[in-house]
Amino acid sequence: MVRQYIAVDLGASSGRTIVGTLEDGKLSLKEMNRFWNGPTEIQGKLYWDFVHLFRNITQGIALAKKECREEPVSIGICTWGVDFGLFDAEGQLLGNPVNYRDARTEGMFEKVFGIVPREEVFDRTGIQFMELNTLYQMMALSLEDSFQYRSAEKLLFAPDLLSYWLCGRMVAERSVASTSQFYNPRTGDWAYDLLEKLGIRSDLFPELVDPGTVIGEAEGIPVVAVGGHDTASAFAAVPVVQGESSAFLSSGTWSLLGVELTEPVINEDALAANFTNEIGVCGTVRFLKNLSGLWILQELRRVWNEQGCDYSWSAMQQMALQAEPFEFYIHPGDESFIAPGDMPVRIQAYCKKTGQNCPETHAQILRCVYEGLALLYADTFDVLESLSGRKLESLRIVGGGCQNQLLDQMAANATRRKVITGPIEATAAGNLLLQMKAMGDIPTLEAGREIVRNSFSGETMCFDPQETEAWGRALEVWRGFCRERA
């Protein structure tokens, strides 16, 4: 029997519509369309273009329906976290959603913690502190008393917004809601007491639903609230086997490194390490840390391309390999690297600020970024083992970033663990698994992961640790330059 589903997968730089076909216990993927996604600056503010996204999604769905042998079983949408749109009483979007990299949240930590201590915010939410979180975006809107904020009747996170435009039902899927830093993972509900203390409206939130819930129909096709946060979907597709003790790394514009647990870890140590407890699929908690991923490399490539150097990704890896190792150290998550801009100059400024020599050539700049990412992974990996109480024997890297074999090998070297990569399309695969489960085609998440193992084994690569002594020394040097600057 053949069953076909439509997965919409939106990352922070691109989106695509994919048809997933389940036949004879194997899942195959076919991309229908791919389209740009990213921030657009208008009069000093960074916006998402959701009308553009929805137009491409509907075009992709139309193409998918032509591709499918029969009517598609269902549709599911997953996106990045934290961002949202505000709707009026008639269900109309009040304005283009603002991109999380916009500067409106600058200074909001100080505003929030001046009312509710940092420790109490973490106790109520268990979420990593990043000024881009929805909590600080909402605090900014509250303080400026914006018209949209005052007029709104509902808040919808990015995947829920697009699903609403498809099927007409407003919900808050739990995995993406948990990224907001005003969801309480202990109670499974909004942190109403926190919002009340901060003076932030708590009447805007729709009904919470679990990942894998059918929420409506689009032209007769069921719409499923999958793991709406793309990392929830990506983690769902990690093809671990029973008894395997692995950390998971979803690698893309962001790197999300963590483990799958059954209960949140909310204590002083987790707070001090700035770890997060996001809701996963099938009753799991994603205990992880959001780290900078390929963002800096993407920006380097963009800037150099504008300067006339049209480097391919493979060429950038080869350039990095040619440079001397461990000459320069950066923390990829430093605040100076968050916004779009001239990354080569910012990297040089960071090295100067931290008392180092400055990388001059493109190869040197690339080498220090690759090493910085791998050393950041290693530092986080060590803390993850301690906080989770687990001995982690390997690192599973999934997502588009796992195709970067130089970074995969460096991650193995730095963590001193075997790295296993694949599937590349983990987010889309996890999206599809949740649809299959919602529609009764698979009984459990474990059954879905077995399908992934059987379907994408050709993408699997293993990287054994090399030069671990040199990388161990480099990690200690990196910590001296970078750890306190995260």
What is the 3-state secondary structure of 164-182?
HHHHCCCEEEHHHHHHHCC
- What's the pLDDT at 486? 46
**What phi and psi values does residue 377 have, to the nearest 5 degrees?**
-60, -45
Residue 208 structure tokens = 């919470």
pLDDT band, very low/low/confident/very high, at 13 (cuts 50, 70, 90): confident
Using CA atoms, how far residue 178 sits from 142, 166, 189, 338, in Å, is 20, 23, 9, 22
CATH class of 240-422+456-486: alpha beta
**8 A C-beta contact, residue 170 and residue 160:** yes
Per the annotation, the verdict on 230 as an active-site residue is yes
Check if the beta carbon of residue 423 is closer than 8 Å to that of residue 18.
no
Query: Considering the chain, what is the average pLDDT of its residues?
Result: 96
pTM for this model (two decimals)? 0.92
Residues 473 and 466: their CA atoms lie apart, in Å, by 13
User: In degrees, to the nearest 5, what angle opens at C-alpha 229 toward C-alphas 224 and 232?
Assistant: 90
Catalytic residue among 83, 160, 230, 379: 230
Q: Rounded distance, CA 175 to CA 458, Å?
A: 30
pLDDT, average across residues 10-25: 94
Contact 176, 83 (CB under 8 A): no
Q: What is the pLDDT of residue 484?
A: 56
pLDDT in tens, 309-334: 999 999 999 999 999 999 999 999 99
The structural domains of the chain, with segments of one domain joined by +, span 2-230, 240-422+456-486
DSSP H or E segment with residue 232? helix 230-236
165: Cα within 13 Å, side-chain hemisphere: 20
- By C-alpha distance, which of 404, 412, 428, 393 is closest to 467? 412
Q: Do domains 2-230 and 240-422+456-486 have the same CATH topology?
A: yes
> Tell me: domain 2-230, CATH 3.50.50.60, correct?
no
Residue 389 — pLDDT band, cuts 50, 70, 90? very high
Integer Cα distance of 87 and 95 in angstroms: 8
Identity of the residue numbered 234: A
pLDDT at 1: 81
**What pLDDT is attached to residue 66?**
96
> Three-state SS for 249?
strand
pLDDT tens by residue, 432-462: 999 999 999 999 999 999 999 999 988 999 9
pLDDT above 90 coverage of the chain, percent: 95
Please report which confidence band the pLDDT of residue 242 belongs to, taking 50, 70 and 90 as the band edges. Answer: confident
Mean pLDDT of 273-297: 96
The span from the CA of 231 to the CA of 259, in Å, is 12
Q: Percent of the chain, pLDDT > 70?
A: 99
Asked if residues 214 and 224 have their Cβ atoms less than 8 Å apart, the reply is yes
CA gap 207, 148 in Å, rounded: 21
Taking residues 122-146, what's their average pLDDT? 96
Sign, Cα dihedral of 415, 131, 206, 87: negative
Average pLDDT over residues 175-203: 97
In the predicted model, is pLDDT for residue 349 greater than 50?
A: yes
pLDDT level of residue 12 (50, 70, 90 thresholds)? confident
Query: What's the rounded mean pLDDT across residues 151-156?
Result: 98
